[in-house]
Amino acid sequence: MSAPNRGAISNSSRTWPKRALALFGLIVVLLYALVLFTGDRSLSPKLGIDLQGGTRVTLVPQGEEPTQDQLAQARVILEQRVNGMGVSGAEVVTNGNTLVITVPGEDTTQAQAVGATSQLLFRPVADQPMPDPAALGETIEEMANRWVEYDVISGEGANEILGQVHDAINPTTAEEGEEEADAADEGSDAPTVTAEPLPEPENSIEAADRRDEMADMLLQDRQSEDPTVQAAALSLMQCDATTDPLAGADDPALPFVTCDYANQAPYLLQPAPLLTGIEDPEGTRLTGNEIDTNSPINGGLNSQTGQMEISFSFQTGDGPSGSETWANLTQENLQKQIAITLDSAVISAPVIQGATPYGSATSITGQFTQEEAQNLANNLRYGALPLSFTGEDGESGGTTEIVPPSLGHTALQAGLIAGIVGLIMVALYSLYYFRALAGVSILTLVGAAILTYGSIVLLGRWIGYSLDLSGIAGLVIGIGATADSFVVYYERIKDELLEGRTFRSAATKAWERARSTIVTGNAVTLIGSIVVYLLAVGEVKGFAFTLGLTTVFDLVVSFLIMAPLMQLAARRPAFAKPSMNGLGGIFALAQERREQGFFSKSGKSAGANVAADNEAAPEEAPENKLRSVVGPAATGSASSTATENQSRGDSDSTTPSEQDSQDEEK
């Protein structure tokens, strides 16, 4: 290779570290330009509720396994509800097969109202069923045992109802005499439940399975078309709860036994009617989905009637429509009741006084508070959820978790302390082992921290990412991973020095060989982070996300900060001193090998001469071999000479070796 070509390569290698550092500076400038001049221009990252305090509501779908499309649709509806309520700082995220709503503050009312399924059905009230008296006793006894087993009703309450039904179907007349009445007082032959409530679930999986089993059982008992079963369910219904355990899971095509929980009255309801013109039993029925969301939907006090109401209009247009169906339904049920159910519970059952004309608005009146009326109107405005949701333990509106702001502040402070302590420990370790070169390691960590912080701020602004405690744990581990890359590079420099290269040449050659190891190690960590993020649920996702993020930035700073700074430092004679780089033992061993001819072109003959000398002087052979293998030990003359030369900045370790010359010729 000609001299000019060698010079060109040398110039490119010489300027590469400065160009890499300039590229890193450009990346930082662009990153923080986006932070400071886009969005809200805040330098503060978005924090999770475990760091800033707030309320988290977890919604678990009921029934069959939901599809991702159903979850996505439910999330969009919930987000629209949140925006419609004007809840500042709230967000809705999909977490596996559950939806999580987070809102600032400690008031759970708004979050739970947003999470209501809001499945609105319009069902005519049915007449009282005519059961088979001969079968009613056995039917209600079996049903009572099932309901007691799943803790739908207490054993005492079930026995009381069984006694009342038994007396109703086996009346005692006055003609039977006082003796039979006395016998009835002493002991009744009315049946009693024999079932015991199932033991408490041992874990959340068993609890979810238990809720699904209970829902299937209640749907079978409360949506039967058999009048005897309907009568048994009506008798056993306890209407003193606040919500219905089915929470919107009832089938609109079947009759339904439910309650007006506000008035503690049970109802038997007919199926929701098919839209006018539809004959298929599986077709569209009159539900809240037929409400015209483009028309005004308001909730609150009607000043003329003095009642709380929700006013709305049904959809109109060509073909089957909700407005036409409602007009026909009110016409056919004059002076009869039509019940409006919300999430399986009757909220209003007015007597129809007159037919509602096609295209006209209608209203729901009931015993609402102002807030309840406004929340229901807001939910109807954006449609019912495609799935029925409850909390993790079956509670209506979802499972709530409140984190006080003071606890969140404490958690944030603890996370910051953990990160600072980790950084200090790494810095102390680096100073002890790497001496002045620890500055390169620390600057690499600082560069990674700058990139990570700016990225977290932007991700919170762009995709709604919230940094939580698990995310901080991933960042702390990322500190160690970034420091580990420097250790790999440093150890590779030792190997190159032992091959006879100068410190300056070793820094360059070591990077060429160490970077593949650094890339491979980080790739493995990154793959693991991605797998954990995809498979995990809950807070583990935050840990995997930040660990993967710091792994990517470890690669960036390794190439754009660590390697350039190390090679720039290697060009300074001061950094070649053992007191500055902590490589005194390696320099001494390299010097000893050089004196023994390991690095000369005639290495083989030199090695043979050394072997012959060892045979001639067997007493010295063990000591020389031990020095060559162990490394840190050196002869007094070699060590003193190396130290003296290194203090002058022109030690043999900085003198070009034959290997260095061969590398440059190549």
Q: Of 284-293, 358-367, 524-533, 657-666, give the lowest mean pLDDT range.
A: 657-666
Q: What is the mean pLDDT of residues 580-607?
A: 75
8 A C-beta contact, residue 526 and residue 548? yes
- pLDDT above 70 as % of the chain: 79
Residue 500: per-residue pLDDT: 87
Banded model confidence at residue 240, pLDDT cuts 50, 70, 90: confident
- Which is higher by pLDDT, 504 or 79? 504
| Predicted model pTM | 0.57
Q: SS3 string of 517-574?
A: HHHHHHHHHHHHHHHHHHHCCCCHHHHHHHHHHHHHHHHHHHHHHHHHHHHHHHCCHH
Q: SS3 string of 269-297?
A: ECCCCECCCCCCCCCCECEHHHECCCCCC
Q: State the Cα–Cα distance between residues 577 and 649, nearest whole angstrom.
A: 7
Residue 188: per-residue pLDDT: 54
pLDDT at 471 over 50: yes
8 A C-beta contact, residue 634 and residue 594? no
Residue 491: per-residue pLDDT: 93
Banded model confidence at residue 87, pLDDT cuts 50, 70, 90: low
Banded model confidence at residue 601, pLDDT cuts 50, 70, 90: low
Q: What is the DSSP letter of 100?
A: E
Q: Of 16-30, 306-320, 401-415, give the lowest mean pLDDT range.
A: 401-415
Most confident by average pLDDT, 206-215, 620-629, 639-648: 206-215
Most confident by average pLDDT, 73-87, 368-382, 566-580, 602-616: 566-580
Residue 660: per-residue pLDDT: 52
Residue 506: per-residue pLDDT: 93
8 A C-beta contact, residue 343 and residue 309? no
- For residue 276, the cross-strand partners are none
Residue 566: per-residue pLDDT: 94
pLDDT at 641 over 90: no
Banded model confidence at residue 547, pLDDT cuts 50, 70, 90: very high
Q: What is the DSSP letter of 344?
A: T
Banded model confidence at residue 177, pLDDT cuts 50, 70, 90: very low
Residue 107: per-residue pLDDT: 62
Banded model confidence at residue 146, pLDDT cuts 50, 70, 90: very high
Kindly list the distances between the CA atom of residue 178 and the CA atoms of 164, 174, 175, 184, in Å, as whole numbers in the listed order. Answer: 20, 8, 9, 10
Residue 239: per-residue pLDDT: 86
Query: Long-range contacts: 494-497, Cβ < 8 Å, 24+?
Result: 494/583, 494/586, 497/583, 497/586, 497/587, 497/590, 497/653
Mean per-residue pLDDT over the chain, rounded: 80
pLDDT at 34 over 60: yes
The domains found in the chain, sorted by start residue, are 22-46+409-573 (1.20.1640.10), 54-115 (3.30.70.3400), 123-173+188-384 (3.30.1360.200), 583-665 (no CATH)
Q: SS3 string of 509-532?
A: HHHHHHHHHHHHHHHHHHHHHHHH
Q: Of 48-57, 251-260, 448-457, give the lowest mean pLDDT range.
A: 48-57
- pLDDT above 90 as % of the chain: 27
Q: State the Cα–Cα distance between residues 324 and 306, nearest whole angstrom.
A: 29
Residues contacting residue 48 through CB under 8 Å, at least 6 positions apart? 102, 466, 467, 468, 469, 471, 542
- Which is higher by pLDDT, 624 or 557? 557
pLDDT at 490 over 80: yes
Q: Of 64-78, 147-161, 279-293, give the lowest mean pLDDT range.
A: 64-78
Banded model confidence at residue 396, pLDDT cuts 50, 70, 90: low
pLDDT at 646 over 60: no
pLDDT at 105 over 70: no
Residue 109: per-residue pLDDT: 66
Q: State the Cα–Cα distance between residues 95 and 91, nearest whole angstrom.
A: 13
- Which is higher by pLDDT, 144 or 115? 144
Residue 10: per-residue pLDDT: 59
Q: State the Cα–Cα distance between residues 151 and 544, nearest whole angstrom.
A: 40
Residue 359: per-residue pLDDT: 85
